[in-house]
Amino acid sequence: MTAMSPSERRLHKELMSLIKEPPPGVTVDTESVQQNLSEWKLNIKGFEGTLYDGEDFQLLFKFNNKYPFDSPEVTFIGNNIPVHPHVYSNGHICLSILTEDWSPALSVQSVCLSIASMLSSCREKKRPPDNALYVKTCNKNPKKTKWWYHDDSV
């Protein structure tokens, strides 16, 4: 505890507040976090009254030692990847705050809120148009993708 780096200190604080006051529909998989502070698994529920009502998803957050000056790597994992125009079937998410619009003033909580609102505002369950090609050719790390954000509404 004594020799925590600034990025570990920040993660520790975020984790505490996320466990204490989680945003609606989000729970932390504390077991995963206890093993490794730099990889968190979060459960997120599809909200009532949206296309994802009753579904459960799992998000994986990976942090490097530059966090929060560098964005976390965030992907959907598990066997239920939401079918959404900005979510590829390998779990990669096209969301600008995860790359170029990231700011250290954002947090795990604000990323969760953005993802929840992205899901909630969806009108039609479908994969991105280039899903097949992207999934075949992309890097494992979604942050290595040169995203082309074309939809500012989410």
Partner 1 sequence: MSFILELITSFVRKMLELLTFGGKTLTNTLKIYVKTNTGRTLTVNLEPQWDIKNVKELVAPQLGLQPDEVKIIFAGKELSDATTIMQCDLGQQSTLHAIRMRPPTIQREKLLSMSLEEEEPTGTPTEEASKPLNETLLDLQLENDERLNITDEYRVRAKAHFFVHCGQCDKLCNGKLRVRCSLCKGGAFTVHRDPECWDDVLKPRRIPGHCESLEIACVDNAAGDPPYAEFYFKCAEHVSGGEKDFAAPLNLIKNNIKDVPCLACTDVSETVLVFPCAAQHVTCIDCFRQYCRSRLGDRQFMPHPDFGYTLPCPAGCEHSFIEEIHHFKLLTREEYDRYQRFATEEATPPPPCGTLGSVVCSALPQS
Query: β-strand 73-77 against 26-28: which pairing, if any?
Result: unpaired
In 10 A of CB 12, how many CB atoms?
Answer: 13
Site for partner 1 in 7-46 (CB under 8 A): 7, 9-10, 13
Do 15 and 37 contact (CB within 8 A), yes or no? Answer: yes
**Residue from 36, 53, 69, 77 binding partner 1 (CB under 8 A):** 69
* Binds partner 1 (CB under 8 A): choice among 24, 77, 104, 151: 104
**Rounded to whole angstroms, how far apart are CA atoms 66 and 78?**
27
Residue 94 designated active-site:
yes
Contact between 125 and partner 1 by CB under 8 A: the answer reads no
Per rule CB under 8 A, is residue 103 in the interface with partner 1? yes
Stretch that binds partner 1, among 2-10, 114-122, 126-134, 143-151 (CB under 8 A): 2-10
For partner 1, how many residues bind (rule: CB under 8 A)?
14
Q: How many CB atoms lie within 10 A of CB 18?
A: 20
The residue with tokens 């929060």 is 68
Whole-number Å distance between alpha carbons of 57 and 80: 6
Q: Which stretch binds partner 1 (CB under 8 A): 6-14, 37-45, 87-95, 112-120?
A: 6-14
- Binding residues for partner 1, rule: CB under 8 A, are 5-7, 9-10, 13, 66, 68-70, 101, 103-105
